[in-house]
Structure 1
Amino acid sequence: MTFDRSLKIAPSILAADFADFGREVQAVEAQGADWIHVDVMDGHFVPNLTFGPPMVKALRRHVTTVMDVHLMIAPVDPFIEAFAEAGADILTAHIEAGPHIHRTLQAIRAAGCRAGLALNPGTSVQLAAPLLDMCDLVCVMTVNPGFGGQSFIESQLDQIRTLREMIGDRPIHIEIDGGVDPGTAPRVVAAGADVLVAGSAVFKGGSVADPAPYGANIARIRAANKA
């Protein structure tokens, strides 16, 4: 896939209707989503429990854009092959999840996926410097991972700016996950982000039966950035 730094909105299905994921994916893509973000949580690395490879495989049939799978799990390596086989386009692992993150990124690419590196709010982006040439995406967490609907952590804007300088002209996406809405989107994009994960800010007010609010919410995030 050709690298493109244009703004992408990646709705998190964590905020969708759990009983109707397939049609939720179809609805939000039809309303303008660029990627679909899938939050995998293990109840150990983060204090919540969500999806495993079978759910990702089931979702894959409905995703026509990019399936962006965020692994908030530890350990990561034993599950890379299963999530790759389930159809993930991007697999993102946390730098905090294990002692051998370089090997993890190698394994993700060897499995045929693009490799993402995620950093929690308490982790300096400087730690990503030796790993950037192994990354296709770096995800800066702007909330503490584990739950949707949290407030944006303002101090992460400096982290994004620093990361953007570190990346330079390398073909690496900067993804922001947490607290993205029309108010925060322009600031993270100005700091250097090009992929915005948004959950409640996209899915609020809509449903499979009435998906138009999804499109309106996505449009508001894009318009806020242009303004």
Structure 2
Amino acid sequence: MIAPSLLSADFARLADEANAVRGADWLHVDVMDGHFVPNLTLGLPVVEALLASTEIPVDCHLMIEDPDRWAVGYAEAGSYNVTVHVEAARDPVRIAKDLRAAGAKAGLSVKPKTPIEPYLELLSHYDTLLVMSVEPGFGGQAFMPEVLDKVRVARKHGLRVLVEIDGGINMDTIEQAAEAGVDCFVAGSAVYGADDPAAAVERLRARATRES
């Protein structure tokens, strides 16, 4: 699965940028509050507008403080998958239940320096695991291959979650991630930096399928 990241798109043309990646599996939307991460992007009103302008399932990655309070709103708006950070959640089990009750898949994300082992049991309540392969906050960073050990640990424990990876994914790094067992690849500049974003999605998919 390929999930183009709108963080690398033209924010003044979000509807057009979403339509430019027809054929993508998910549309990855980074919500940042300027507190949990040192960047400020977009919030629920923009996500609602985006949901009304695309048929691609929207994958909301909430890099925010207090996701216990705010996450459900993104599910209620119609997001397909809503991911919160374990480092910010006060009651991650409750969040997962609330997200599912609101009609969304529940995702849990870990930063590069956060170990996965303490949260393996917690993941039984979630549908997706998002492994960050860069420090969250800004696009265009270099891929951190050491985080793939978390993917391998999740696979070793037989967790029934979709494993997603976000950060520095391109035609080279997607091979390593696919080999480690990743299911869904978030790609920003590798897609939106291409002359034909939709074709870039298909090239990434072909490369990942070859290595998986």
Taking structure 1 as the reference length, what is the TM-score of the superposition?
0.88
Alpha-carbon displacement from aligned partner over 1:9-54 (angstroms, at most 9, x marks no partner): 000011111111011111212xx31110000000000010111111
Alpha-carbon displacement from aligned partner over 1:172-211 (angstroms, at most 9, x marks no partner): 20000001001011111110101000000001133xxxxx
Alpha-carbon displacement from aligned partner over 1:125-156 (angstroms, at most 9, x marks no partner): 11221112211100000000000000001111
Paired residue secondary structure (2:21): helix
CA drift of 1:79 comes to: 1.1
CA contact (8 A) 2:7 2:30 kept: yes
Aligned position for 2:191: 202
Q: How many angstroms apart in 1 are the aligned matches of 2:141 and 2:177?
A: 16
Aligned position for 2:10: 17
CA contact (8 A) 1:151 1:178 kept: yes
Q: How many angstroms apart in 1 are the aligned matches of 2:32 and 2:112?
A: 17
Structure 1: segments with no counterpart, 5+ residues: 1-7, 207-212
Query: CA RMSD of the aligned region, Å?
Result: 1.3
Paired residue secondary structure (2:61): strand
Instruction: Number of aligned residue pairs: give it.
Output: 210
Structure 2: segments with no counterpart, 5+ residues: none
CA drift of 1:76 comes to: 0.5
Q: How many angstroms apart in 2 are the aligned matches of 1:98 and 1:25?
A: 29
TM superposition outliers: structure 1 runs of 4+ over 2 Å: 222-225
Taking structure 2 as the reference length, what is the TM-score of the superposition?
0.94
Alpha-carbon displacement from aligned partner over 1:100-140 (angstroms, at most 9, x marks no partner): 22222222122221100000011111122111221110000
> Which of 36, 41, 48 is the equivalent residue of 2:39?
48
Alpha-carbon displacement from aligned partner over 1:60-102 (angstroms, at most 9, x marks no partner): 0122121100010011121123212222111100000033222
Which residue identity lines up with residue 66 of structure 1 in the other structure? P
Matches of residues 25-104 of structure 1 in structure 2 within 5 Å? 25-29=18-22, 32-104=23-95
Q: How many angstroms apart in 1 are the aligned matches of 2:127 and 2:157?
A: 14
Aligned position for 1:215: 198
Q: In the alignment, is residue 140 of structure 1 matched against residue 128 of structure 2?
A: no
Q: In the alignment, is residue 184 of structure 1 matched against residue 173 of structure 2?
A: yes
Q: How many angstroms apart in 2 are the aligned matches of 1:18 and 1:167?
A: 39
Q: How many angstroms apart in 2 are the aligned matches of 1:182 and 1:72?
A: 26
Paired residue secondary structure (2:129): strand
